[in-house]
Structure 1
Amino acid sequence: MDGGGVGSGGADGAGVDGAGAGSGVGVAGIAPEADVAHHGRVSLTDGRIAISVTTLNHGPSALAGVTVRLTLSVPPAGTPNLPRGCLRAAERELLCATGALPVNGPGRTLGLELGTAGSPHEVVLHVATAWNGGASDRNPENDTHRVLVPATGDPYVF
C-alpha cells in the first residue's frame, strides 16, 4: 500500500508517528481527534460483487490516511484485480488505503468489482476502519457496517 503523505508528526519530528501536516497534532505525543465515516453501496449479480465505499473525515483534525477493511462472507474467485492502494490481507479480507482525508472534504471513493466461486444466493459485507493514523474517534459507530446482500442485483446502501 502507498504510504502517501505519512510523516513523523511535528516539524521537530517528535509528533505522533503517522500524523502528517495538518493532522491536528499540536503537542508532541497527543493524538488528533477525527470522526471517520464510511458510506456506500454493494450489489450481487450472477456471482459478481460490486462495491463502492466513500470514506469521509468529519474532523476536527485532518488525517494523513485511513485504511478500510472489507471482509466478505465468501472469498473472491481467483486473484482479484484490485485498485491501487488495496491488497488482499486474507482469503476473504481486503485492505485499502484512502490517502489524505481533509476535514469535511469530499472523501475518497473506492470502487471494486469481484467475482465469486459459483453463484451465491447472498453475501455479507463487513466494512470497518482498520487504521486511522492513531486518531481518537468519538463516534466509531459510523466506521463499521455489516450489509446482507441478496443476489438480486439491487444496490444495498450503507
Structure 2
Amino acid sequence: MEVVAVRRGVVRSVVVAGLLVLGGAGAGPAGASAGPEADVAYHGRVALAHGRLRILMVPENEGPSAVPNATLRVRVSADLADRQALAGGCARAGQREVVCETGSMPLHGRGRHIGLVLDLRESAPEVVVRIDTWWNGGATDRNHTNNEHVVLALDTGDTYAF
C-alpha cells in the first residue's frame, strides 16, 4: 500500500466530497446543493509522451459568488504507475484517478495553477483524460460545459488544449 502525503485541505475536501456523494449533510454530488452559485471552469493542456502524461490546469470562477475551495478530479483511461510524485494539494483517488484542490477562487478570479506529471503503468498509444469537479465547496454550478472535459491525447508529445 502506497502512502501519499497531502496537505490538510485536500484531505478535508476529499472527505467532505465523499460525504456529499453518500448523501451526508442533505446534499448530493457536486453542483446539487442549494449553496451559493458559482461558475467553475477549467482550462489547460494535456500531452502524452513515452508513457508520461503531463497536465496543466487553471481553475477559474466566473461567479456570481466566490468559491473558498473545490476539488477537481482527473481520470485517465490507462492504469497509473504505482508510485507518483504528485503536486502539493493532490492525492491519488484510485488506480486511474487523482484529485486536486483548487484553492480559493474569488469572483471572476483564478484558483492555483495545477501541474501534474503522471506516469502510466505501461505505455499506451493514446489516453483519454477526463477532468471534472468532484467537490465544489458547497456552491451550485449550473454550467457544467466548462468544468467537464474529455481530452484524447496521442502518444506523440503533442499538446492538446481544453
Residue 108 of structure 2 is aligned to residue 104 of structure 1: yes
1:118 matched to 2:122? The reply is: yes
* Residues 1:140 and 2:144 aligned together: yes
**Percent of aligned pairs sharing the same letter:** 46
Instruction: Quote the offset at 1:30 in angstroms.
Output: 5.7
1: distance between equivalents of 2:98 and 2:107? 25
The answer to whether the Cα contact below 8 Å between 2:54 and 2:118 also exists between their aligned partners in 1 is yes
- 1:42 match: 46
| Conserved? CA contact 1:2–1:97, under 8 Å | no
Which of the numbers 3, 7, 24 marks the counterpart of 2:9?
A: 3
Partners of 2:40 and 2:144 lie apart in 1 by 8
TM-score relative to the length of structure 1? 0.80
CA distance in 2, matches of 1:65, 1:106: 11
Whole-angstrom distance in 2 between the partners of 1:87 and 1:30 = 27
Q: Does 1:93 align with 2:106?
A: no
1:155 matched to 2:159 = yes
Structure 1's unaligned 5+ residue stretches are: 7-16, 18-28
Q: Size of the alignment, in residue pairs?
A: 136
| CA radius of gyration, larger in | 1
AA aligned to 2:91 is L
Between Structure 1 and Structure 2, which shows a larger proportion of helix residues? 2
Q: Secondary structure at the match of 2:98?
A: strand
AA of the residue aligned to 2:8:
D
Runs of 4+ in 1 over 3 A off after TM superposition: none
Which amino acid letter does the alignment assign opposite residue 155 of structure 1?
A: T
**8 Å CA contact 1:69, 1:130 repeated in 2:** yes
TM-score of the superposed pair, with normalisation by structure 2: 0.78
